[in-house]
Chains A and B, each alone.
Chain A
C-alpha cells in the first residue's frame, strides 16, 4: 500500500512538511500548545456501538482514497450515528505541520511508519486500546510503532519483501525457483541465467538512493536489524550489514546486476527484454506486471525471499503505514472506533483489500498487519492473472509472518539517505567498498543527524 510508484519526491516533500512543521510552533512562543505535561495522552475509553458524533479523517489522495472511502461507507452502515468527513490530503506535506500548530487537526490520519516515531509527543498513546489485538498483530509492525514501550499507531499495512522472478527464463536456465533458499543460491541462479544470456544482469539493483536505502533496510530487517536501535543509536557497523553489503558488491563485481531506477524506463525495458529476471522487492512490486509490463505480463511469479543464513527469515518489510490519532483530536474515541473497524474487524479490512470498484481483483500491494485478517486459507484478494494466476495472497501472507521485529524508525531516517543511500549507490557503481560505506555513513549520520537531533 505504500507508494508503489516513485515515492522519492513524496518523501522529500514530506520532509519539507516535517520541517515546516517544526517551525509552526514557537519555542520562544509564550504558549507552547498542549505541551504542559510530558506524559503522553492515553486513550482508553472505548465508546459503545451507539456512538454518536462527527470525525474528520485524513487519507492520501488518489486511488487509495477511493478504496478507503468505500470501506468507510461500510463503517457508516455499522455506526450510523457517527458522521465521518473523509478528506483526501497531501499528508506528507501537511500532517506534521498541523500536529504542531494544533489548528484544524483531523481526528485521525494515515501516516508512514517512518514518520510516526519522531512525532509521538503529538499523538495519542494507543497501547491500552490495541492490547486486545496485540498478540495477533505483526510483531514487526508493533515494533516500528512502539516508543518507550507505548504504541502510537494502529498498525495498518504490512509490506513483506518477496522474490519476483521470470518463471520462463528460470526454467530455460534450468533453475528451480524452489531451490533459491539463500542469497548465495540467488547468485548461482544469476550466473546460470547469465550463461544462457550473456547480456543479462539478472538481479535488480535500485538506482534511486531513497528506494535503494529502503531496499537495504528490507535486507537488513530480514536479519533482525535496522539502521537504528530502539534508543536511536546507529547500528550500521554490524555483521548483518557487512554481509549484505558484501553480497551486493559481489553481485556487482560479477556483473550479475542491472542498476536501474525503480520502474523507470530503463528498468521497464530491462524487465521486458529478459535482461532482469530476479527482483527482490516488496509485495507492492505486484502492480508492475499488472499495469506496466505489457510484454511479459503473466510470466512473473512471486516467491519468498532467500534467507541470509540457511533456515533464516525469508522476508523483511519494505515500507508501511499506520493510523494515528492526534493528541489534540476532538473525537479521538470515534476515530479509534473507525480504525478498530478498518484494521481489526472483518467487514472493515475486507472492504479495503477485497474486490472494489478501483481494484476489481482486490488490493494486491500489501497485506493486513492483523493476523486473523491474513489467513492463508481466507484470501482477501484474488489470484493475479498477471502472475499466471498465482495465489499471491498465500505467498505474501506467509512472507509477512516471517518478518522479524525491528525498532522504531528514527525521525532522521529520510535525511540519512543523503549519506547511506548515496554511499550505497557508490557501492553499486563499484566506487566504494562495503567497509567504507559503513564507516563513512555511520560517521556522517552520527555527526549531521544523531548529534544534532
Chain B
C-alpha cells in the first residue's frame, strides 16, 4: 500500500503539468482498444453462431439466433471437461507452490545478508536466461527415468518455483522498510513469523499480482504439458485444445470445415473464459502489482 500511494501521488503531481488529452488521443486509444478486444469478442460471438453462418458472413451476429451447437459438438469430440479439471488441479497445486516459496525466497534475497548470497542470486538470474525449450528433451527423459510420464507430478514439479517470480518478489519486498521487520524481531517474532505476519500483509498487492500472473501462466502453459503427458486422462486444457483441430478434421469422414471452425471457436472461447473473468475481476491488483513490482531494480 505504501508504495502504491506514493506512486499515485507522484503521478498526480506529474500530470498537473500536462494538458488533458485531446480528441485525437482518445481516437487513437479507442481504435487501439478495439483492435485489441475485437478478436476476443469475435471468437466468442462466432462460436455462438451456426457454423454455416460463420463462413457466410464473419461479421454478422444476432443474439437471437445464438446457438450452443458448436459447444455440444465440441464436447462430444474431445474430453474438454477432463482437460479442464486437470488444469484446475495443476494450477492449484503448482500455483500454491509458487505463491508460497517464491515470496519466501524473494524475502531472503531482499532482506538478509548471508555468505554466498550474490553467487546464489547470480545463478538465479542466469536461469532466467535459459530458454524453456532447451530443457524439454532432457526433462522428458528424466521423467521417464523416474517413471513420471503421464503423471501429475510431471506436470506440477518442474518449474514450480521459478526464478522470475522470486526476482519479482525480491523487488517488491525490497521496498518494505527495514524498521517494520526490526519491530517484529524485537517483539520476538520468529523469522518465518516476520515474513508471514509483517511482510506478506504489506506486499499483498504484489502477491495478488503474482497470483494472477502465475495462475495465468500455468493455465496457458502448452509446451511442457504437450510432451510430458500423452494419456488423455492427464491432459491439460491447452493440450486437449491443441489436439482438437486434429481430432475434428482428421477423422471424421465428411466433416466440413465450417463445422470444424465452429468447434475450434467454441473450444477457444471456453478456454479463454476463465482467465478473462479472473483477469477482469482482479485487473486492478494485477496491473497495480506489476506497476509496483516491476523494473525498480
A interface residues (Cβ-Cβ under 8 A, vs B): 3-7, 9-10, 13, 16-17, 20, 23-26, 28-30, 60-65, 89-90, 92-94, 97-98, 101, 103-104, 264-265, 287, 290-292, 359, 365
Contact = CB atoms under 8 A, between A and B. Distances in A.
Interface in B225-280: 226-227, 230-232, 243, 245-247, 249-257
Given A3-B251, A94-B230, 4 more contacts: A13-B243, A23-B144, A265-B257, A291-B256
The secondary structure that dominates the B interface is helix
Contacts of A9: 245-246, 249-250
Contacts of B147: 103
A56 to B, nearest CB: 12
Interface of B: 77, 137, 140-141, 143-145, 147, 149-150, 226-227, 230-232, 243, 245-247, 249-257
A97 B143 CA distance: 13
Nearest to B244: A90
Nearest to B55: A265
B249 A20 contact: no
A96 B61 CA distance: 43
Most buried by B among A5, A9, A13, A60: A5
B253 A64 contact: yes
Contacts of B141: 23, 26, 28-29
A358 to B, nearest CB: 8
Contacts, number: 104
Nearest to B232: A89
B253 A101 contact: no
Contacts of A365: 253
Contact of A7 (B230, B250, B255, B256): B250
A94 B79 CA distance: 15
A93 B246 contact: yes
A63 B252 contact: yes
A89 B253 CA distance: 16
Nearest to B251: A62
Given A23-B141, A29-B145, A291 B254 contact: yes
Contacts of B145: 26, 29-30
B243 A60 contact: no
A90 B245 CA distance: 11
A101 B144 contact: yes
Nearest to A286: B253
A62 B231 contact: no
A6 B226 CA distance: 22
B249 A90 contact: no
Contact of B253 (A4, A24, A61): A4
A373 to B, nearest CB: 20
B230 A287 contact: no
Contacts of A24: 140, 143-144, 149, 230
A93 B231 contact: no
Contacts of B137: 23
11 contacts: A4-B254, A5-B250, A10-B251, A16-B226, A24-B144, A62-B251, A63-B252, A93-B243, A101-B144, A287-B254, A291-B253
Of listed A16, A29, A61, A101, residue having the most chain B CB within 10 A: A61
A27 to B, nearest CB: 8
B56 to A, nearest CB: 12
B78 to A, nearest CB: 8
A113 B223 CA distance: 28
Contacts of A17: 230
A62 B145 CA distance: 34
A103 B247 contact: no
Given A9-B245, A29-B145, A103-B150, A20 B253 contact: no
B253 A10 contact: no
Contact of B230 (A25, A28, A97, A291): A97
